[in-house]
Chains A and B, each alone.
Chain A
Amino acid sequence: MEKTWNNKAWFMVLPVLVLVAFSAVIPLMTVVNYSVQDTFGNNEFFWAGTDWYVQVLTSDRFWDALTRNLIFSAIILAIEIPLGIIIALNMPKKGLGVPVCLVLMALPLLIPWNVVGTIWQVFGRVDIGLLGRTLEAIGINYNYVQNPVAAWVTLIVMDVWHWTSLVVLLCYAGLVSIPDAYYQAAKIDGASRWSVFRYIQLPKMKRVLLIAFLLRFMDSFMIYTEPFVVTGGGPGNSTTFLSIDLVKTAIGQFDLGPAAALSIIYFLIILLLSWIFYTVMTTSDAQG
């Protein structure tokens, strides 16, 4: 199709640009501003250059938190994506079961983060929580306040419970868009259950899976509320993710400079990783 260029079209995007400027660009620039200056209060600022960046990037605290983030996201993706696909494949395609399943699946998504955190915090407590008491009773050493493994398991189980539904719903949307004729043709071609999944269902889910993957990566990488509510970053620093570290630095210690530098680095990491995932997945898609 012939493309026509009309520079007046830029005015059409102007309102959005203004909104984005106020909601994102200006706050971000403020943070950039903080990250290159030092202050001792009184609204007096001194030029600090890249000092804060160097300080953050050379601290063990940063690398440890980043490592925790990466491991957490990897585990979350490794569980939620396959689990979401399996559940979506087994959901009914028609009849009364469809709305029932969809509502059940959507329920966890409707609960606010801090409420989810509180639910699990109480649920897992060794003194009064159903889960904590039960595990204790059958002799499993479970105490998320003292045991780092228990704390991690709690966070992961909680996240899986909260967010697998999102993957399920996206995959389900991809699956129901496949016409019956595909399954019939596969039957006629003598395809096995695995071939049907590999050559019909998976290709049709590819796009939604990419979205699910990116959303789950970004969300899990930015996780804050749940560990804040449940473990507060502990025991020790075992669940101190970058976001928790950031808040501790900024609000707990009021080190605005390092906190701002950390925010910028954090932002760039998410941007970079998302871009890499997106590029890798879409190019493999194009090669087919």
Chain B
Amino acid sequence: MARINLNHIRHAYGAKPKSENDYALKEVHHEWNDGGAYALLGPSGCGKTTLLNIISGLINPSEGEILFDGKDVTHLSTQERNIAQVFQFPVIYDTMTVYDNLAFPLRNRHVPEAEVDRRVKETIEMIGLGGWAKKTARGLTADQKQKISLGRGLVRNDVSAILFDEPLTVIDPEMKWVLRSQIKRLHKQFGFTMVYVTHDQTEALTFADKVVVMYDGQIVQIGTPAELFERPRHTFVGYFIGSPGMNVLPVKLDGNTATVGGEHVGLNFLPKVKAGAKTELGIRPEFVSLGREGMPVAITKVEDIGRHKIVRARFADQPISIIVDEDGEIPADPRVTFDPKAINIYADSWRVGEEA
């Protein structure tokens, strides 16, 4: 297992990047802890797979260096970096048995056969394919195949990190849950450094200790699930995480009052905003309360999704979502209030702190 340092990494697929926009991956400079579980979360084309492939060594970054436990591995091959990777579509050697599939990476490294046997048997138990050793890999289900892909990483007990590239894409919904908790359990039990790429927020939030949210080639926030929920650093994080996403309303700021349309919202801090910036107020639907007091809204639609209702409404001529309890009533003359603690202020899409 290894600590991973990404030192000023940038990557462009074109030969000569001229402007910042030519970079598929904009500057990344971070340290990831040994034994951590990280999820790279973002929409398609945000650069998350590029970053993963840079870590695994399938791509050489245009700029910057990458260190494993302080050792520069930028120019080492995937094999020399000792990385394991699980791909979107299960990769198995279908002419081999389950046993031989797992033994393959060890035999390629000329591990003595007795040691191969011991480790393969151990790994087969770990991934829960106990009775399947002698079966041909071809006839297995997608989730079993994906377990074998994972197993081929686990069997090499000295791997620096295990990387997952949207590993649950082709897995049936009910098996997704099982497989995800199994990966999580393996992480807890053996402390592998794991990096998990996904565009599914549920997967990212349940899997990772730290979620790395990427947008348009850059990392916009690295945080625990709670941090991402409560204090999104960028309006994108607000939109992308949460269901429905954060309400973002364009506001005018005046001291600690935000004005949207004709409505005034009081803030419990004095935001530090540069003059001329585009200012917005972010509030999650969970922290908007609907009742008889507060600011008027016009309800357009109510979606009952079982545990609670999502109310879509227009507030000061802006669309807004509100989460109401399953048995919460919707008044005839609806009004809303915002929980002041849950309000975030954004200037040019980035969250701003308090005036010193």
A→B interface (CB under 8 Å): 179, 181-182, 184-185, 187-192, 195, 199-200, 203, 288
B84 at the interface (CB under 8 A from A): yes
B337 at the interface (CB under 8 A from A): no
Known: A189-B152, A190-B105, A190-B108. 14 other contacts (CB 8 A): A181-B88, A184-B58, A184-B87, A185-B152, A187-B78, A188-B84, A189-B104, A189-B105, A189-B108, A191-B104, A199-B95, A199-B104, A203-B95, A288-B138
List B contacts of A195 (CB < 8 A): 104, 108
Task: Give A188 to B108 CA distance when docked, in angstroms.
Answer: 10
Output the nearest chain B residue to A195 by Cβ-Cβ distance: B108
List A contacts of B93 (CB < 8 A): 199-200, 203
Q: Which of B83, B95, B96, B138 contacts A188 (CB 8 A)?
A: B83
Output the nearest chain A residue to B85 by Cβ-Cβ distance: A188
Q: Which of B89, B94, B104 contacts A179 (CB 8 A)?
A: B89
**How many contacts between A and B, using CB within 8 angstroms?**
53
Kindly identify, within residues 61 to 115 of chain B, every residue whose CB is under 8 Å from any CB belonging to chain A: 77-79, 83-85, 87-89, 91, 93-96, 104-105, 108-109
Task: Give A187 to B95 CA distance when docked, in angstroms.
Answer: 18
Contact status B79-A190, CB under 8 Å:
yes
Task: Give A182 to B221 CA distance when docked, in angstroms.
Answer: 32
Contact status A188-B78, CB under 8 Å:
yes
Task: Give A190 to B152 CA distance when docked, in angstroms.
Answer: 11
List B contacts of A181 (CB < 8 A): 87-89, 91
Ordered by A's residue number, 10 sampled pairs between the chains whose C-beta atoms are within 8 Å are A184-B87, A187-B77, A187-B79, A188-B79, A188-B85, A190-B79, A190-B109, A199-B96, A203-B94, A203-B95
B124-155 CB contact bits vs A (8 Å, 1 = yes)?
00000000000010100000000001001100
Q: Which of A179, A188, A189, A199 contacts B56 (CB 8 A)?
A: A188
State the 9 A-B residue pairs at the shortest beta-carbon distance, nearest first.
A190-B108, A185-B91, A181-B87, A189-B105, A199-B93, A288-B136, A203-B95, A190-B79, A187-B78
Task: Give A184 to B85 CA distance when docked, in angstroms.
Answer: 9
List A contacts of B136 (CB < 8 A): 288
**B111 → A minimal CB distance (Å):** 11
List B contacts of A182 (CB < 8 A): 91
**A192 → B minimal CB distance (Å):** 7
**B69 → A minimal CB distance (Å):** 19
Task: Give A235 to B319 CA distance when docked, in angstroms.
Answer: 91
Instruction: Tell me how many residues of B have a C-beta within 8 Å of chain A.
Output: 25
Output the nearest chain B residue to A189 by Cβ-Cβ distance: B105
Output the nearest chain B residue to A190 by Cβ-Cβ distance: B108
Task: Give A185 to B83 CA distance when docked, in angstroms.
Answer: 10
Output the nearest chain A residue to B137 by Cβ-Cβ distance: A288
Task: Give A288 to B138 CA distance when docked, in angstroms.
Answer: 8
Task: Give A195 to B79 CA distance when docked, in angstroms.
Answer: 15
List B contacts of A192 (CB < 8 A): 108
Output the nearest chain B residue to A185 by Cβ-Cβ distance: B91
Interface centre among A179, A184, A192 (most CB of B within 10 A): A184
Interface centre among B78, B87, B95 (most CB of A within 10 A): B95
List A contacts of B56 (CB < 8 A): 188
List A contacts of B96 (CB < 8 A): 199
Task: Give A199 to B101 CA distance when docked, in angstroms.
Answer: 10
Task: Give A182 to B94 CA distance when docked, in angstroms.
Answer: 11
Task: Give A184 to B91 CA distance when docked, in angstroms.
Answer: 10
List A contacts of B104 (CB < 8 A): 189, 191, 195, 199
Interface centre among B84, B93, B152, B153 (most CB of A within 10 A): B93
List B contacts of A179 (CB < 8 A): 89, 91
**B49 → A minimal CB distance (Å):** 11
Contact status B108-A288, CB under 8 Å:
no
Kindly identify, within residues 23 to 56 of chain B, every residue whose CB is under 8 Å from any CB belonging to chain A: 56
Task: Give A192 to B107 CA distance when docked, in angstroms.
Answer: 11
Q: Which of A187, A191, A288 contacts B58 (CB 8 A)?
A: A187
List B contacts of A185 (CB < 8 A): 85, 87, 91, 149, 152
Task: Give A133 to B235 CA distance when docked, in angstroms.
Answer: 80
List A contacts of B95 (CB < 8 A): 199, 203, 288
Output the nearest chain A residue to B100 by Cβ-Cβ distance: A199
Task: Give A225 to B88 CA distance when docked, in angstroms.
Answer: 51
Kindly identify, within residues 277 to 325 of chain B, every residue whose CB is under 8 Å from any CB belonging to chain A: none
Task: Give A192 to B58 CA distance when docked, in angstroms.
Answer: 16
Interface centre among A187, A188, A200, A288 (most CB of B within 10 A): A188
Task: Give A45 to B18 CA distance when docked, in angstroms.
Answer: 89
List A contacts of B79 (CB < 8 A): 187-188, 190
Task: Give A176 to B152 CA distance when docked, in angstroms.
Answer: 25
**B203 → A minimal CB distance (Å):** 19
List A contacts of B89 (CB < 8 A): 179, 181
